[in-house]
Structure 1
Amino acid sequence: MTSPTDRKTLVLTGASRGIGHATVKRFSAEGWRVITCSRHAFSDKCPWPSGPEDHIQVDLSDPENLGVAVAEIQKRLVDGGSRLHALVNNAGTSPKEPDGSRMNSLSTPMHAWRTVFQVNFFAPILLARGLFKELSAAKGAVVNVTSIAGIRVHPFAGTAYATSKAALASLTREMAADFGPHGIRVNAISPGEIDTAILSPGTEDMIGDIALRRLGLPQEVAETIFFLCSSQSSYVTGAEVHVNGGQHV
């Protein structure tokens, strides 16, 4: 029987839907403890065990909340006798115009830029820095979730979202260089059009631009995240893996 100290632990932001849900299920199926962070309260509809005890409700758009989140994660690790083997920065925000269209570089208000970069860019590095000792002790892994929108103008994702994800890809390389000497691997995954409940209308029209001619599934993204957090990728760091069915080519 696995003891609490032997059981691996993941901290995951943005766990309330889509890729986050699939990631929790994938790691839970392998026996990992998953500490989830989301701006939403835990719901009894969530399909994984130990949710209420291992869920932290936190709004990452507020810089003041990051220190509180780190302290609470550290407390739960100590209380559970766990080490931190992986941090997955999946939380993201992409504001739209009132009619649902993308916010471009001319129309995006400054407050939206600040909120998007706070959630999509600053939160990942501040969480990783705050949990550095815990990750280092377990020779853990960090996975940042970027986006295909970070490498091309996207019909639905706005300018602030796209540039924040491009910045996160660059940050991943910097983190890999800085965290690597301490035994921490840092990689990114870049999803394309994934079939979730929050797809923008018209996404199906983009299938012709995807080499595999279909939308991706959340569990396919979760599989790649799990690979990058497992010993199977023990010599992989500083990479950005495109999970988009060949859309980027």
Structure 2
Amino acid sequence: MKLKDKVAVVFGGTSGIGEATAKAYAEEGAKVVVTGRDEEDGNRIVNEITEKNMEAIFVRADATDATEVKQVIDKGIETYDHIDILYNGAGIHDKYKTAVEVEEDEYDKLMAVNVKAPYLASRAVIPHFLERGSGTIINVGSQATHVAGPGGSAYITSKHAIEGFTKQLAYDFGEKGIKANLIAPGFIDTPMTEGIEDERLKDIPAQRAGKPEEVAALAVFLASDDSSYMHGSTVTMDGGWVTGR
């Protein structure tokens, strides 16, 4: 029960790593606000949590819409009195398109989801964290945070950018009780990686894809008091892929 009595907002919580994280937070005692655009899956996840006598609600929202993001934060505070943890897990891929191949609207959409959305959610919740004198922000990067190749031009740019954003959050607000850290997952078995050839697994020292639950366990650690002295850190969980690059 590492998160007992804490309240977590999980953006991108309706599938993949976000779903696993929402469930892991609930298992560790947190009350969870699951948010995303997929209402059917969002309600399914909340039902699976509450059936185990744990607490969760679903709030449908587009993570790139400032008004809807603020409504999620407001609903979390209204329902559970406060928020302790913000997990920014929404993300999309660009199918390895180069700077010449990616269209401007595609580029803008990816940047909105992968970079702007964490900014909007952080901006919405930080005033509340400052009032309480504490709070945790967890952003999600990728092995593409470290190197080129795991995506195209827009994706690589976005995952490098989110690391810088996370570091600046820690720099600006660490002394005020807010910790911000980045998870950099590698090849994880999620809907985003469906259709990617198994040939890639040969380049991973662990010789397998990761599981969403493994990344969720790291998200629990970063949300808990066990990581209280971690500020602005990037924690890579990729089976050793980056090590071999």
Which 5+ residue runs of structure 2 have no aligned equivalent? none
1:108–1:183 CA distance, 2 compared to 1 (3 A): same
CA RMSD of aligned residues (A): 2.0
1:87 — aligned with what? 86
Aligned ranges for residues 6-45 of structure 1 at < 5 Å? Answer: 7-43=5-41, 44-45=43-44
Q: Is the 8 A contact 1:56 1:69 kept in 2?
A: no
2:49 counterpart SS class: coil
1:131 counterpart SS class: helix
TM-score by length of 1: 0.87
Per-residue displacement from partner, 1:176-201 (whole Å, max 9, x unpaired)? 10111210000000000001244242
1:3 — aligned with what? none
1:58 — aligned with what? 61
Number of equivalenced pairs: 234
1:160–1:71 CA distance, 2 compared to 1 (3 A): same
Q: Which amino acid aligns with 2:34?
A: T
1:53–1:27 CA distance, 2 compared to 1 (3 A): closer
Aligned ranges for residues 114-193 of structure 1 at < 5 Å? Answer: 114-136=108-130, 137=132, 139-154=134-149, 157-193=151-187
Aligned ranges for residues 103-114 of structure 1 at < 5 Å? Answer: 103-114=97-108
Deviates more, 1:235-244 or 1:209-218: 209-218
Structure 2: how far apart are the matches of 1:202 and 1:119?
A: 21
Aligned ranges for residues 216-227 of structure 1 at < 5 Å? Answer: 216-227=210-221
Structure 2: how far apart are the matches of 1:230 and 1:53?
A: 18
TM-score by length of 2: 0.88
Q: Is the 8 A contact 2:92 2:192 kept in 1?
A: no
1:201–1:7 CA distance, 2 compared to 1 (3 A): same
1:76 — aligned with what? 76
Structure 1: how far apart are the matches of 2:127 and 2:34?
A: 19
1:201–1:79 CA distance, 2 compared to 1 (3 A): closer
Percent sequence identity over matched residues? Answer: 31
1:13–1:212 CA distance, 2 compared to 1 (3 A): same
2:242 counterpart SS class: coil
Q: Which amino acid aligns with 1:162?
A: I
Q: Is the 8 A contact 1:42 1:52 kept in 2?
A: no
Per-residue displacement from partner, 1:53-101 (whole Å, max 9, x unpaired)? 721211224xxx22332134223313332x21110100011244xxxxx
1:154–1:49 CA distance, 2 compared to 1 (3 A): farther
Q: Which amino acid aligns with 2:62?
A: D
Structure 1: how far apart are the matches of 2:56 and 2:86?
A: 18
Write out the 4+ residue segments of structure 1 that deviate beyond 3 Å after TM superposition: 42-45, 50-53
Q: Which amino acid aligns with 1:121?
A: V
1:120 counterpart SS class: helix
Q: Which has the higher helix share?
A: 2
